[in-house]
Chains A and B, each alone.
Chain A
Amino acid sequence: AQSVTQLGSHVSVSEGALVLLRCNYSSSVPPYLFWYVQYPNQGLQLLLKYTTGATLVKGINGFEAEFKKSETSFHLTKPSAHMSDAAEYFCAVSDTGSARQLTFGSGTQLTVLP
């Protein structure tokens, strides 16, 4: 079974600072990895995804993530945080069964300080 661990349930950064949200996965087969963002009172929105190919994945709103197989990680970064980035971020992995569904991490709440 696939699993995802997000390190740090709460992360605070200053506006303009680097954002780094950590995600480690467990998988016995090549995983498909995703980052989703959830703004207050809204559903989840896809930020970016890794399936195959280039290990550095660029997403929306200036976010990117790098798939590192040797570290079983898929950390999310953004060079300069903006106030509008404050939200909850979820890392997710899909399984490789015939019916695919996402397994989500527990989420990281990002706070951006002025």
Chain B
Amino acid sequence: DSGVTQTPKHLITATGQRVTLRCSPRSGDLSVYWYQQSLDQGLQFLIQYYNGEERAKGNILERFSAQQFPDLHSELNLSSLELGDSALYFCASSERGSSYNSPLHFGNGTRLTVT
């Protein structure tokens, strides 16, 4: 058990809809990362937050947004969903903001299916 909690585990929704994925980091971890894993794109970094502030952006679409709250949990909002957004979305956390000296701990992911 990594200590990172993601909810829900599965989500099925229709095209055009909006969903929110939630992540609670390990106790004491200040940094949260969101990744998307799909068959065609592999594991893609989306966005990182550190102590409530956006730290880095990766291949995140404009239809997607995220935030980290004062209690350090994070939410990833996906809107105007398309079939291609179907994927496994992972949250990871680390103690500090730099991943090289502070390894990432991954949650078990949220599997999103857009129909």
Contact = CB atoms under 8 A, between A and B. Distances in A.
**Interface size range on A against B:** 20 to 34
Interface stretch (A16-24, A36-44, A63-71, A73-81): A36-44
Contacts of A41: 108
B14 interface: no
Interface of A: 32, 34, 36, 41-46, 49, 51, 90, 94, 97, 99-107
Contact of B42 (A36, A51, A101, A106): A106
Interface of B: 2, 4, 33, 42-45, 48, 55-56, 58, 90, 92, 97-101, 103-109
Given A51-B100, A104-B43, A107-B43, A44 B58 contact: no
A18 B55 CA distance: 41
11 contacts: A32-B99, A34-B103, A43-B4, A43-B92, A45-B2, A45-B106, A94-B99, A94-B100, A102-B104, A104-B42, A107-B42
Given A34-B103, A43-B109, A100-B100, 8 more contacts: A41-B108, A43-B2, A45-B106, A99-B48, A100-B97, A101-B45, A103-B45, A104-B45
B56 A97 contact: yes
A32 B100 contact: yes
A31 B14 CA distance: 41
A42 to B, nearest CB: 5
Contacts of B33: 101
